[in-house]
Amino acid sequence: MCQFGDVPQICVQVSLSNGRTVEAQAMASLKEILTRRPVAATIRLTVPAGGARPAPPVGPALGQYRLNLMAFCKDFNARTQKYKPETPMAVTITAFKDNTFEFTVKSPSVTWYLKKAAGVESGSGRAGHVVAGTVTLKHVYEIAKVKQSDPYCQYMSLEAISKSIIGTANTMGIKVVKELD
């Protein structure tokens, strides 16, 4: 063990092929390593906003790992109260072996937003040939602003997210225009 500031770190000596040895420090402190909990499972679900109940699909998915269903439902519904009811939310639940859990909630998918903005039930079966609907650049910008709050997109620029949304719209057969006529 070696010191890095006041925090003890795990050190490793690595022998290189040229005969030299290099000492490397682990990024996690000893305290972090000792307090990590073993993960039992990672569960991915799509649950309606404000609609988490102990019934399927939530009940069986969490019940098999003996997680507290009511605590999850209460926390999930509280976190998603700012969205309209029945908005599909992607949730990733990390179940630990000590029957505790953590979860992250992502905003609705880009395809869901595009279908709502275009006013269609589904995309085109023949993207590039048949136009299923139309959205404006303003719609794309508003969707990008919402998606930027996702934990997976928070470090992406608004421009990069917008380009990705335009690409998704093209593959769905939804035309992106500057403004509606």
Q: What is the pLDDT of residues 99-129, one digit of tens each?
A: 999 999 998 999 999 999 999 999 888 888 8
Could you tell me the pLDDT band of residue 24, with boundaries at 50, 70 and 90? low
Alpha-carbon gap, residue 39 to 32, rounded angstroms: 15
- The listed CATH number (3.30.1550.10, 3.30.1490.20, 3.40.1440.10, 3.40.190.10) that belongs to domain 39-106: 3.30.1550.10
Q: What is the pTM of this model?
A: 0.73
Phi-psi region of 22 (alpha: psi -120 to 50; beta: other; left: phi over 0): beta
Share of the chain above pLDDT 70, in %: 82
The CATH class of the 110-177 domain is mainly alpha
Considering the chain, what is the average pLDDT of its residues?
A: 87
